[in-house]
Chains A and B, each alone.
Chain A
């Protein structure tokens, strides 16, 4: 019964992590050096359907059932390999000999779009969680009148 709560909460966790990463990208939009002295690369979360644990999977196969819903997980945080933006700014301390600076490959408007998308997906998961909760509470009322 509570499995669908866990599924929805895994979705919420994943979307919140996505939001954290977007915030990180926006915060680093002008970062030309990280701890290793390299230009900041845009980070993207990699989502994957959560795999059923092997015990549960075996049990379900034995009972002749399909492996059921388990939610979502973020398997890694990848770096966007698209090219850096090059701007001409000879006075910048990280400029090369010709005066060009590599700026992070972050596009603020696409980050904003992702941010709204993450926020809406989070809300959709909350709605599913609330529906499941109301169903559970309704089941508690059986036999009460």
Chain B
């Protein structure tokens, strides 16, 4: 259960990174020669969830907690260079960016809600055990 929450919180981090890249694209919408950026975190997360190997901490006592792997943000930031569709060699398409901003926002909110629900389940389990 904790690892599910961990994975989802990495998803939140990724969506936040992505939001920044999208904001940068919109800020540079009139900058000549600017190429749009994006963050590919879904594939990193997919890899991670498939591996699901945890890096354990060194323990000197069997009652020590091993810990689990929580990496710093290492999502790949991509600058996409293939297309030019404007005279100033800027390839930011405002329609695409706004749609991505909307998608990313909904993704983030959904993930936050799911994490919240996980915690609510934990709380329910704990409190139901206490009442006689």
Size band of the interface chain B makes with A: 35 or more
Complex interface: chain A residues within 8 A of B12 (CB): 139
| Given A49-B28, A135-B16: A64 in contact with B23 (beta carbons within 8 A) | no
Q: Is B98 in contact with A124, judged by CB distance below 8 angstroms?
A: yes
Min Cβ gap B14→A in Å is: 12
Interfacial chain A residues near B7, Cβ < 8 Å: none
Q: Nearest Cβ in chain A — how far from B19, in angstroms?
A: 5
Query: Beyond A7-B23, A139-B112, is A18–B77 a contact (Cβ under 8 Å)?
Result: no
Smallest distance from the beta carbon of A123 to chain B beta carbons, Å? 10
Determine which of B76, B102, B112 lies in contact with A142 in the assembled complex, contact meaning CB atoms within 8 Å. B112
Closest Cβ–Cβ distance, residue A142 to chain B (whole Å): 5
Specify the chain B residue showing the minimal Cβ separation from A9.
B27
Q: List residues of A (1-30) whose CB comes within 8 Å of B's CBs.
A: 1, 3-4, 7-8, 10-11, 14-15, 18
Instruction: Answer yes or no: A69 CB below 8 A from chain B CBs.
Output: yes
Number of interface residues of A (CB under 8 A): 42
Bound-state CA distance A89–B93 (Å) is 46
Q: When the two chains form their complex, are residues A10 and B119 in contact, meaning their CB atoms are under 8 A apart?
A: no
Decide if B30 touches A124 in the complex (CB within 8 Å).
Answer: no
Residue B44 at the chain A interface, CB threshold 8 Å: no
Cα–Cα distance between A68 and B20 once the two chains are bound (Å) = 8
- B residues in contact with A145, CB < 8 Å: 116, 119-120
Residue contact A127 to B101, C-beta cutoff 8 Å: yes
Using a CB–CB cutoff of 8 Å, the interface residues on chain B facing chain A are 12, 15-17, 19-24, 26-32, 34, 37, 72-74, 76-77, 94, 97-98, 101-102, 104-105, 108-109, 112-113, 115-116, 119-120
The 10 closest A-B pairs by CB, nearest first: A11-B27, A69-B24, A4-B20, A7-B23, A66-B77, A131-B105, A47-B31, A72-B27, A138-B112, A4-B23
What is A's interface to B at a CB cutoff of 8 Å?
1, 3-4, 7-8, 10-11, 14-15, 18, 47-49, 63-66, 68-72, 117-118, 120-121, 124-125, 127-129, 131-132, 134-135, 138-139, 141-145
